[in-house]
């Protein structure tokens, strides 16, 4: 059966483990395309410009918004983040599906720009488990954690607007389910 390169959007509350999940699926599928987002936040230790993100300042971000270079962009936790159209298109043109790991505001905007995009929402098994995971990362101070928990609650309200919902109760099981989702939509063709 022929396969069609598709644009997948993976969203979910901060701390739900979507980064780990997507990394696992990517490890099994080296043929997936990579896109690097742009952000105005500062790099964390170990993050590399052009790999983790394109770290740009506010003026440069505004210039790119004006130039129409973003497929979507959003304010998240006080900084701007955006997906560059060029990053997505170069992969789809080369026949590689793309997974965008972005917040819900961005995800819902992508649906307008790319009606063939498949929106996948990663859910925690429970609100308590999400808080435990978020605190366990130890990368943010208390104020940042409180901010992320408040955002998480809002993000969870958007889950019903997504095409597919996957509960990250167990990493291997959830990764399998995400892979089966990719398979089924790639086989299905689509309008990308």
Q: Please report which helix (H) or strand (E) contains residue 77, including its range.
A: none
In this structure, the number of other CB atoms found within 10 A of the CB of residue 4 comes to 16
Scan residues 22-61 and list those touching ligand 5GP (CB under 6 A): 37, 41
Sole residue written with tokens 């983040």:
81
Span near ligand 5GP by CB under 6 A; candidates 25-33, 103-111, 128-136, 184-192: 103-111
The residue at minimum Cβ distance from ligand 5GP is 106
Q: How far is the CB of 105 from ligand 5GP (least distance, A)?
A: 6
Q: Are 156 and 103 in contact (CB under 8 A)?
A: no
Span near ligand 5GP by CB under 6 A; candidates 59-67, 68-76, 113-121, 128-136: 68-76
Q: Are 121 and 162 in contact (CB under 8 A)?
A: yes
Whose Cβ is closer to ligand 5GP: residue 72's or residue 123's? 72
Interface with ligand 5GP (CB under 6 A), residue from 87, 103, 123, 177: 103
For residue 123, state whether it binds ligand 5GP (rule: CB under 6 A).
Answer: no
Q: How far is the CB of 2 from ligand 5GP (least distance, A)?
A: 30
Sole residue written with tokens 């129409």:
68
* Phi/psi of residue 38, nearest 5 degrees: -105, 145
Q: How buried is residue 147: exposed, middle or buried, by Cβ count under 10 Å (0-12/13-18/19+)?
A: middle
Sorted by sequence, the CB contacts under 8 Å of residue 124 that are 6+ apart come out as 12, 13, 15, 16, 17, 130, 133, 167, 168
Q: Report the SS3 class of residue 138.
A: coil
For residue 121, state whether it binds ligand 5GP (rule: CB under 6 A).
Answer: no
For residue 181, state whether it binds ligand 5GP (rule: CB under 6 A).
Answer: no
Span near ligand 5GP by CB under 6 A; candidates 58-66, 69-77, 118-126, 177-185: 69-77
Residues that bind ligand 5GP (CB under 6 A): 14, 37, 41, 72, 74, 76-77, 81-83, 101-103, 105-106
């Amino acid at each position: 059966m022929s396969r069609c390169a598709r644009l997948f959007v993976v969203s979910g509350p901060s701390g739900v483990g979507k980064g780990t999940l997507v990394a696992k699926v990517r490890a099994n599928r080296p043929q997936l395309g990579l896109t690097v987002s742009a952000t105005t936040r500062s790099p964390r230790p170990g993050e590399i410009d052009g790999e983790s993100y394109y770290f740009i300042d506010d003026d440069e971000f505004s210039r790119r918004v004006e130039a129409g270079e973003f497929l979507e962009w959003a304010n998240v936790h006080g900084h701007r983040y955006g997906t560059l159209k060029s990053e997505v298109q170069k992969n789809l043109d080369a026949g590689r599906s793309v997974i965008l790991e972005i917040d819900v505001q961005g995800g819902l905007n992508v649906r307008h720009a790319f009606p063939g995009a498949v929106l996948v929402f990663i859910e925690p098994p429970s609100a308590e488990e999400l808080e435990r995971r978020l605190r366990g990362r130890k990368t943010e101070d208390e104020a940042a954690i409180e901010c992320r928990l408040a955002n998480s609650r809002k993000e969870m309200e958007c889950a019903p607007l997504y095409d597919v919902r996957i509960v990250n109760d167990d990493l291997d099981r959830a990764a399998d389910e995400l892979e089966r989702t990719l398979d089924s939509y790639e086989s299905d063709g689509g309008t990308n």
